[in-house]
Structure 1
Amino acid sequence: MNLCYRTVWNAALGACVAAAENVRAPRGGGARSSSRRARRAGTVMAGAALVASGMAHAATFNVSNENELAIAILSANASLDAASTFNLTASFTSALTLPQIQKNVTVVPNAFVVTTALATPFDVAAGSSLTFQGTLNGTTGLVKSGGGALVLAGVGSAAGGNITVNGGELRVQDGGTLTPGGLSGINATGDNSRVVVTGSGSKVITAGGATNIGSAAGSSLDVLAGAAFGAGGSSSLLLGEVAGTTGNLTVQGSGSNVTVIALLARAGQSNIRVLDGGTLESTGPNGVQLGGTGTTSAGGVSSVVVSGKGSTLKSGVSYTQHRGTLEVSDGATLDARLNFTLGRTAGGVVTGVVAGAGSSLTTTVGTVTVGQEGAATLTVSNGATVSSKAGLGSLALGQSASGSGTLNIGAAVGDAAVAPGTVLASAVNGGAGTAVLNFNHNASAYDFAVPITGGTSVNHVGSGTTTLTGANTYTGATNVAAGTLRAGAANTLSSASAFTVATGATLDLA
């Protein structure tokens, strides 16, 4: 039996109680008899509510105002049932500090709307949830606290101010829409707090300002299964803003999309995952800046993985990573319209890998730099492609005096040789710092047509055969430790380089 409850004031008990709709107060009798019967009826009604809530079906409460909402929460918490349903019977505004939700509660709108007048928290205990199937509005913002989940599953939920997640999870699902209205958008500040947008049609529309993930503790933004975040790209996304904090971003699944005006990771740890056909795009002039801003390092470390066919990380301007790791694999794409830079500032160390058939790292109108002022390594293997302006832009190694840049074709030195990748560039140019090009692949016939220039050193350490066909003028040393390094034509082996050939290795002068 699925009972519906109403809230009534019991004068004898001096409290509101939840009463089943089929419970009626007794009739007839004198004043004293009526008083005694009222006490008994009140006790029965309260008991009936608790007993009925222990039945197999979830209890249902009708709610038409803020007081009834608060009482319904208390009654649901006291219920033996794990779940309850609140049926809205009117639209109303609540300015109350509501009790903590300690069970799984679903609010059914019936075309009505709940509006919060103050940015008081929805406190949901760990292991519990509060699900709005309709519209929830916050005139001055929304606050989520507690370790449980606040779930928005209705179209049109909005906050007139910022949305703050101090704990637990804020989830938008089942085609739900959330529109933050504040200058700061969404702030996930609580330790292990999460914002989850999941399912086709579910979306968060950020009108401006910045979404801050991990400004005070570790927190996450997950956009999954065809959902969208930041439609229109009018706000920034900040990850790990403060040292000692962690900001996590996951965009996973075909059709899943995050579009922002800037993707910025600062002094903390940032972990970015674009997987299984997801798309992450920064459209504004700041592009993607990880671990610092422009020429200034903030000291943050970033781990970036773009993996899976159709997965794309795109910057409308530049991609700059000061510290950390980068992986583009299994058919994924990283596209920086202007410049791509690893190891932007002194002291930073970045390791990048582009691996797998169909995987690509490209710049459209700019260049690729590995180790500008810091130290960076870029490995291209197993059929992947690195393209600088479709072959018209340079790939710079160790650009400044403090910079150190290494380009590995196949695998890093010390690792087992694997199939090579492809580099499209006008030149691999060694700058004022340290520049190294390593061939560590197992292909029997690999042509490298890109001219090698500047102070680059060349090492051939894999078992394969590499044929140089570019006009090479590099001045660094050439070391053939294994396999075969072959000249594809006259003057393709740099006359300005000193050559060393180990026993068992071959330098073929053609």
Structure 2
Amino acid sequence: MINQASQRTAMAKRSRRSLLATTALVSCLVGLVTTVSASAQTVTVSGDVSPFSATSPDWNVGGDIEIGVTGPGALSIEGGGTVTTTVGVLGLTSASTGAATVTGAGSTWTNSDVLFVGVQGSGTLIIEEGGALSNTDAYIGHASGTGTATVTGAGSAWTNSGSLYVGNGGVGTLSIEDGGGVTGIRGFIGSDPGSIGRATVSGAGSSWTNSGLFFVGDGGDGTLEIENGGTVSNSFAYVGLAEGAVGTVTVSGAGSAWTNNGELTIGVSGAGALTVAGEGAVGNTTGILGYGAGSTGTANVTGAGSTWTNTRDLIVGRSGTGALNIEDGGSVSNAAGSIGQLMGSSGEAVVAGVGSAWANTGSLTVGYGGDGALTVKDGGAVSNRIGYIGFSVGSSGVATVTGDASTWVNSGDLLVGYSGKGILSIENGGSVTNRVGAVGFSSGLSGEVAVSGAGSTWTNDSSLFIGTFGTGTLTIADGGAVSSADGYIGRNSGSIGAVIVRDSGSSWTSSSSLYVGNAGFGTLNIADGGAISAPQLRIADVTGSTGTLNIGAAAGDAAAAAGTLSAELVQFGSGTGSLNFNHTETNYAFARRSAVRERSTR
């Protein structure tokens, strides 16, 4: 669908030549006024208008109409009057100004071809109080012109059977308000390089409906504001399409909604930004922030009731740079989530504040093929099935969960350093939960986890592996707590696992056995009041493994205060195991029921 975004509907050369050829002919008519009325039905033309002689209540021009060719001109359709033309033009040349007003139920202006509001001059269009306008394609601010169009009031309608361009080389402004409606196939805001487009859809019942594609910042600078209950709908949408283009969309206020019946891409090759605030709502299939190399895409979802709903995946940084900010009670939902999707990409997601939530019904990957960062803070919440930090070779993922009530809930496993580099920090009361936890999953790759601060917890409902096939480290400090069903430090042959539990209140509790060097290389340090609790501690479990338990400091290091090991049995296996006491305590002792054994060779 990205290829479709480059298509353009060209202006008919025939129409343009006709418009320019009439300039000299009609310049002498500037200042004249023709008004023909029948009862309340009125069609009025004044000033520089070609052709000039209007008929009422129904005026069939029989060709093009040019309002403001070299000077000021105006057309007014009121009280059920009708005008029928081929091409309509407001503000043809650089010194011209053209204005058209369609007012009242039954008042219509029908163009069988295109409509221009500001070609090289200035054009103004107002559709109000139930008036209606129709055409094929329409251009507001075409070439070097400036155009303004307003559709206001219930029943007021502008029907485009083709595309509507707001800023197509010039400066264009579109306002849809108080129940007005605009329809078309495709919509463009800020179409060509150098153009500026601004569109506002405001008020309950106000709508802009596109059956096809929608572009904000197609090649130029585009801004869309949906507010106070206004709505916009389309199929696929692109914000910041071309390199150098800038697109900005804001959806704010209860009832305000942007409905995309296809993908929504913020930052295709240019720069795109989306803000959802004040109970606004955005919906689409797949969402992408930062699609192409060099692009930037940013989404801010802020405030209670503000929502961004992706029925499929959400990608934060596909090949470019993506940023997702969910704050102050905002909510984002999707199937799978990915931060830093492809090699060379960069993605960052921040979920901050009580009530702020990112719900992934599928997996969440921090650093899929590029660089990814996730921060959950100040009571924010993230949920998903399987979680990955550093998924592919060459990727890097960093996740931080910090602050009271900040949570990351994985209903499945959590893998830190799956095939890339992964780092997880849980601090200051943050909480992470999952089924199986694995740190340093693949051979040759590394994962690091730190759990620090009172109230900080990492809950593994099943096994915890520190060094599965690769290198894994776990540090529990300053009152942090880790729990698991069983634990493995250096799980498989060739793996390396290292765990440090230090400081009073810091703990790792395993409801079943804890292995230090199961089939790989494992080291466990318990110091400075840290605590380990497990029914059994098994050191160097199988042949070829190496396991070391240090109480205090490692052998050869300066002695440190001891920690506490609560285990009914410490058993050495058939590998190379060691137990080092290198601490500063003078009254350290084993409980009477504790035992240290070598594995039986029977």
Q: What secondary structure, in the 3-state scheme, does the structure 1 residue paired with 2:563 have?
A: strand
Is residue 389–residue 417 contact of structure 2 (8 Å, CA) maintained in 1? yes
Give the alignment of 1:211-222 within 5 angstroms: 211-222=264-275
For 2:470 and 2:414, locate their aligned partners in 1 and report how far apart those are by CA, in whole Å: 16
**How much has 1:61 moved relative to structure 2?**
5.7
Query: Is the counterpart of residue 308 in structure 1 residue 353 in structure 2?
Result: yes
Residue 193 of structure 1 pairs with residue 232 of structure 2: no
SS where residue 314 of structure 1 aligns? strand
CA RMSD of superposed structures (Å): 3.8
2:571 maps to: none
1:404 and 2:446 aligned: yes
Mapped pair 1:457 → 2:498: yes
Confirm or deny that 1:210 pairs with 2:210.
Answer: no
Secondary structure of 1:497's counterpart equals: strand
| 2:180 equivalent to 1:132 | no
Aligned residue identity for 2:157: V
- Distance in 1 (CA, whole Å) between partners of 2:174 and 2:365 is 40
**Which AA in structure 1 matches 2:483?**
A
- Map Cα deviations across residues 133-190 of structure 1 (whole Å, 9 max, x no partner): 111101x21111133421122444210210012222122111111120x3x3445415
Kept in 2: contact 1:62–1:89 (CA 8 A):
no
Aligned to 1:272: 324
User: Cα gap change, 1:126/1:270 in structure 2, threshold over 3 Å: closer, same or farther?
Assistant: farther
Structure 1 residues 367-415: Cα deviation after superposition (integer angstroms, max 9, x where no partner): 1111100001111112221111xxxx111101111321111111xxxxx
- In 1, the alpha carbon distance for the partners of 2:357 and 2:32 equals 53
Q: Which residue of 1 aligns with 2:374?
A: 326
Which of 132, 138, 149 matches 2:198?
149
TM-score, reference length from structure 1: 0.76
Where do residues 332-351 of structure 1 align in structure 2 (5 Å cutoff)? 332-336=380-384, 338-351=385-398
Write the distance in 1 (CA, Å) between the matches of 2:100 and 2:121.
Answer: 9
1:182-227 deviation per Cα after TM superposition (whole angstroms, max 9, x unaligned): 3x344541533112211110112222x3112111111112221101
Amino acid corresponding to residue 312 of structure 1 in structure 2? A
Within 5 Å, give how 1:322-471 maps onto structure 2. Answer: 322=368, 323-336=371-384, 338-364=385-411, 366-388=412-434, 393-410=435-452, 418-425=453-460, 426-430=462-466, 431-441=468-478, 443=479, 447-450=481-484, 451-455=486-490, 456-460=497-501, 463-470=503-510, 471=513
| Partner SS state of residue 457, structure 1 | strand
Specify the alignment match of 1:115 in structure 2: 159
What is the number of equivalent residue pairs in this alignment? 441
Q: Please, which of 214, 229, 254 is the counterpart of residue 282 of structure 2?
A: 229
- 1:19–1:46: 8 Å Cα contact kept in structure 2? no
Q: Secondary structure at the match of 1:65?
A: strand
Q: Identify unmatched segments of 5+ residues in structure 1.
A: 1-8, 26-41, 50-58, 411-417
Matched-pair contact (CA < 8 Å) for 2:176–2:206: no
Where 1:13 maps in the other structure, the secondary structure is helix
1:386 counterpart letter in structure 2? V
- Normalised by the length of structure 2, the TM-score is 0.65
Q: Is the 1:66–1:94 contact (alpha carbons within 8 Å) kept by the matching residues of 2?
A: yes
> In structure 2, what is the equivalent of residue 62 of structure 1?
101
Higher share of residues assigned strand:
2
**Contact 1:374/1:402, CA 8 A, preserved across alignment:** no
Give the C-alpha shift of residue 229 in structure 1.
Answer: 1.0
Contact 1:61 1:87 in 2 (8 A): no
For 2:268 and 2:400, the matched residues in 1 are separated by 29
> Residue 130 of structure 1: SS of its match in structure 2?
strand
The answer to whether 1:263 aligns with 2:314 is yes
**Paired AA for residue 198 in structure 2:** A
For 1:168, the equivalent position in structure 2 comes to: 222
Residues 299-347 of structure 1: CA distance to partner in whole angstroms, max 9, x if unpaired? 32110101111111111111112222110111111110x2111100011
Alpha-carbon spacing, 1:89–1:315, altered in 2? closer, same or farther (3 Å) = closer
How far apart, in 2, do the equivalents of 1:332 and 1:20 lie?
Answer: 66
Aligned residue in 1 for 2:597: none
1:507 is matched with which residue: 563, 566, 574?
563
CA contact (8 A) 1:185 1:210 kept: yes
Shift of 1:11: 7.9
| Structure-2 separation of matches of 1:457 and 1:276 | 38
The reply to whether residue 290 of structure 1 matches residue 290 of structure 2 is no
Per-residue Cα deviation, 1:418-448 (whole angstroms, up to 9, x for no partner): 445111112321211110001232x3xx554
What is the one-letter code of the residue matched to 2:382?
Answer: L
How far off its partner does 1:60 sit?
9.2
Counterpart selection for 1:249 from 290, 296, 299: 299
Distance (whole Å) between structure 2 residues aligned to residue 18 and residue 176 of structure 1: 40
Cα distance in 2, alignment partners of residues 16 and 135 from structure 1: 33
Cα separation, 2, equivalents of 1:17 and 1:472: 95
- In structure 2, relative to structure 1, the CA distance for the partners of 1:71 and 1:62 (3 Å cut) is farther
Quickly say closer, same or farther: Cα 1:196–1:440, change in 2 above 3 A. same
CA distance 1:367–1:86, shift in 2 (3 Å) = same
SS at 1:168 equivalent: strand
- State the distance in 2 between where 1:73 and 1:269 align: 36
Alpha-carbon distance change, 239 to 468 in structure 1, aligned in 2, over 3 angstroms: closer
| SS of match in other structure, 2:530 | strand
Higher helix share: 1
Q: How far apart, CA to CA, are the structure 2 residues paired with 1:91 and 1:78?
A: 18
Say which SS state the counterpart of residue 215 (structure 2) adopts. strand
User: Which residue pairs with 1:159 in the alignment?
Assistant: 210
SS in 1 for 2:294: coil
Change (3 A) 1:350 1:148: same
CA distance in 2, matches of 1:107, 1:243: 38
C-alpha deviation, 1:469, in angstroms: 3.2
* Separation (CA, whole Å) in 2 of partners of 1:18 and 1:320: 69
After superposition, the Cα gap between the structure-2 partners of 1:349 and 1:124, relative to the gap in structure 1 and judged at 3 Å, is same
Unmatched segments (≥5 aa) in structure 2:
1-22, 36-43, 47-67, 76-97, 103-107, 491-496, 541-546, 566-589, 591-602
Q: Distance in 2 between matches of 1:77 and 1:320?
A: 51
If asked which structure has higher relative contact order (CA below 8 Å, sep 6+), I would say 1
Counterpart amino acid of 2:331?
T
Q: 1:19 to 1:247 in 2, by over 3 A?
A: farther
Contact preservation (8 Å) 2:348, 2:372: yes
Please give the alpha-carbon distance, in whole angstroms, between the structure 2 residues aligned to 1:248 and 1:368. Answer: 27
Larger radius of gyration between Structure 1 and Structure 2: 2
Residues in 1 aligned to 2:229 and 2:422: alpha-carbon distance in whole angstroms: 42
- Residue equivalent to 2:531: 486
